[in-house]
Structure 1
Amino acid sequence: MKIYHNLSEFIKLDNAVVTIGTFDGVHFGHQKIIKQLVQRAKADGGESVILTFFPHPRMIIDPENQDLKMINTINEKAEILKSLGVDHLIITPFTRDFSNQLPEDYIKHTLVNNIGTKHIIIGYDHRFGKDRLGNLSDLKAAGLHYGFTVEEIMEQDIHDVAVSSTKIRQALLAGDVNLAADYLGRPFSILGKVIKGDKIGRTIGFPTANLFVEETYKLIPSDGIYAVTVEMSLQSEVQSPESENKTTNAPKLATPDSGLQTFKGMAYIGQRPTINGMTRNIEVNIFDFNQEIYGQDIKMNFLKFLRHDVKFTGLEALTVQLQKDKEATLNYFKTLN
């Protein structure tokens, strides 16, 4: 899949089969549209194109509202779309100027002149252009003029897949990672870099990798303890602790070609009230693992919520509970075999 970070980077196609959306989570409903897109492109001898936006339009149109968090970072979304067989992903910077385009200008300049759209697959309620005035009827009328066809995802088809990004966010904020996984068709995951912590976990027999998530807009589930799997590429070069906070714009997900390995573990999200912590941490105790991985990018898949975060009387009481948590986690993994 080719990725473009601006329409100006994209070379107009002869036969582009297009769909448009933010696709946060790339959940079952999104996957239905994307599979339809890929199949139609192959049947027509064309190429599949997804036009998405970053930042999320709501972040620009309503900048005072900082509560909106994304299920996927833009890099995570790109990796998922790649796995679904999409040919081209255009990540359009969403700005005030872009949102103020008249619907007819958006169709002419973006869909026709820049992309070369010959067929577009879109939801029945899709809106676009200034004040979201453009609709499906406008697309169909423009298609007759510019020579592209429009395929509507019917209301019943979308409602049959009773899922939305909002429902997934609500589930995650409640700690219900199982429900989120049902909607997503895969476990919810967090990708981040391992950074140095205060190493208190080592002193009580539960060393943890502290995860730094660069993207502040990434949704983090409810505080608590979770059964997780951890994926990392141990063959890749691990950075020194001094360079651990340096970041890149490239997608970070490891691939099987880069020596991807998976481990079981239990994760903690919270402010560590037992030691009067002041910041929200994301930590993971990786089972049967003792390598130094500072600077390593890891992916954490959330499988089961175990308990809420609580304040204990001291480290001894916390250690006793962590041992119980580990036993509960191991028992959970046994049920998967």
Structure 2
Amino acid sequence: MKIYKSLQLDFNFNTVVTIGTFDGVHIGHQKIIERLVQTAKKSQLKSVVLTFFPHPRMVLQKDANIKLINTIDERSLILEQLGLDVLVIKKFTKEFSRLTAEEFVAEVLVKQLRIKKIIIGYDHHFGRNRSANIDDLKAFGKIYDFEVEEISAQDINEVSVSSTKIRNALVAGDIKIATKYLGSPFMLSGVVVKGKGLGNTIGFPTANLHVEESYKLIPKQGVYIVKTTIDNEIVYGMMNIGFNPTINSNNEQSIEIHFFNFNQSIYNKLLVVELLDRFRDEQKFDSVEALKIQLQKDKETSLKYIEKFHAK
């Protein structure tokens, strides 16, 4: 998959396009992408997703509190796995939002993306003040020689419901429901940074994951079973999201992972961590010894789960 981060494109091929945020790239989105990829192959076109970043709400509504299921890099990774040919990530600005509907069609879709077909929701609005709808798009299609395929109300509703359910599930710590709608485990991406080293002192060294993107949705605090790939090796572990109240006095939330059967230094390494399950809330223990006993139980719980559901 080729990724472009502007609309200065060098396409020497014609395309079938869909447009959207595709946050989570969940099972509803996947149906649309699969249709896009299949249509492209059948029509001897290239499949293209046009997406926007930052999220339009961050720009137009100054919504700093918006939380997304994926970072832009995670979204790219998932789309690539679905067989997409080209991802165009257009920086969303106020100036871009002021393009008229016809300017958007003529300059972006026709001139830059070389569109021959677009697959789009029945409720899609575009152009300045989102004033144009799918009927306008079909009219432009006749003028500029491209076909419009409409995504049904049922499919669009499925996308909307899935996104809401995933966000609610993650906030509630219900990883099973989130995984069901995502079609694969929810992921956290971040760089391993130095912590206080307190885990070493109690026999459970941890990797501290720093998630740079403030817009990334962080699930409910608690203890999770996780999986990642380090140097092409799958590694399992248990992860705590929270404040480590037993041995920590500050109020800064951390994401710490204890990996099983692993003792390499991974500082400054970028990890993509998949959350497989959540099995308890974070809690404060009366002593460090009581915490150690619980961590050993957590490890046993995690290893049993991994053996049952993820054994090779």
TM-score, L = length of structure 1:
0.88
- Is the 1:232–1:297 contact (alpha carbons within 8 Å) kept by the matching residues of 2? no
**Aligned alpha-carbon RMSD (Å):** 1.4
Quote the Cα distance in structure 2 between the aligned partners of 1:151 and 1:45: 17
Indicate the residue corresponding to 1:41 in structure 2: 40
Shift of 1:321: 1.4
**Aligned-partner Cα distance in 2 for 1:164–1:138:** 28
**Residue in 1 aligned with 2:22?**
23
Give the match for residue 222 of structure 2. Answer: 224
CA distance in structure 1 between the aligned counterparts of 2:73 and 2:235, rounded to whole angstroms: 22
Residue 101 of structure 1 aligns to a residue in which SS? coil
Match of 2:210 in 1: 212
Counterpart residue number, 1:272: 244
Counterparts in 2 of 1:46-125, with a 5 A limit? 46-63=45-62, 65-125=63-123
Q: Is the 8 A contact 2:4 2:87 kept in 1?
A: yes
Q: CA deviation at 1:156?
A: 2.1
Matches within 5 A, 1:112-191: 112-159=110-157, 163-191=161-189
- Kindly provide the CA deviation profile for residues 167-225 of structure 1, in whole angstroms up to 9, marking residues without a partner as x: 21111111111111101110011111111111111111111011111222211111100
Question: Deviations for 1:264-316, whole angstroms, at most 9, x for unmatched residues?
Answer: 11000001122223211011000111111111222211011111111222312
Distance 2:130 2:179 in 1: 32
1:288 aligns with 2:261: yes
Partner residue in 2 for 1:252: none
Percentage of identical aligned residues: 51
SS at match of 1:273: coil
SS, match of residue 225 in structure 1: strand
Q: Tell me the CA shift for residue 162 of structure 1.
A: 7.5
Q: Is the 8 A contact 1:27 1:163 kept in 2?
A: no
- 2:283 alignment partner AA: V
Q: Within 2, Cα distance between the matches of 1:55 and 1:159?
A: 24
* 1: CA distance, partners of 2:26 / 2:198: 38
Letter of the aligned partner of 2:5 in structure 1?
H
Q: Give the Å deviation of 1:160.
A: 5.4
Q: Quote the residue 2:200 is aligned against.
A: 202
Question: Could you tell me how far 1:159 is from its partner in structure 2?
Answer: 3.7
Q: Is the 8 A contact 1:11 1:115 kept in 2?
A: no
CA distance in 2, matches of 1:321, 1:163: 37
CA distance in structure 1 between the partners assigned to 2:65 and 2:107 by the alignment: 33
Q: Look up the SS of the partner of 1:7 in the other structure.
A: coil
Gaps of 5+ in 2: none
Given residue 327 of structure 1, which amino acid in structure 2 is its aligned partner? Answer: E
The answer on whether the counterparts of 1:271 and 1:281 sit within 8 Å (CA) in structure 2 is yes
Equivalent position SS for 1:128? coil
The residue type equivalent to 1:276 in the other structure is S
1:263 aligns with 2:235: yes
Letter aligned with residue 209 of structure 2: L
How many residues in Structure 1 have an aligned counterpart in Structure 2? 309
Of residues 275, 278, 289 in structure 2, which corresponds to 1:305? 278
The answer to which of 303-312 and 163-172 deviates more is: 163-172
2:23–2:70 contact (8 Å) kept in structure 1: yes
SS in 1 for 2:173: coil
Conserved 8 A contact 2:29-2:159: no
- 1:13 Cα offset (Å): 4.4
CA–CA distance in structure 1, aligned partners of residues 60 and 302 of structure 2: 43
Question: What residue number does 1:4 align with?
Answer: 4
Deviation digits for residues 14-68 of structure 1, max 9, x if unmatched? 42110000101100111111111111111111111110000011111111x3221
- Equivalent residue number for residue 296 of structure 2: 323
**Alignment partners' CA distance in 2, 1:108 and 1:164:** 33
SS of alignment partner, residue 164 of structure 1: helix
| C-alpha distance in 2 between matches for 1:66 and 1:181 | 26
Residue identity matched to 2:41: K
Within 2, Cα distance between the matches of 1:22 and 1:109?
20
Note closer, same or farther for the CA distance 1:13–1:164 as it changes in structure 2 (3 Å cut).
farther
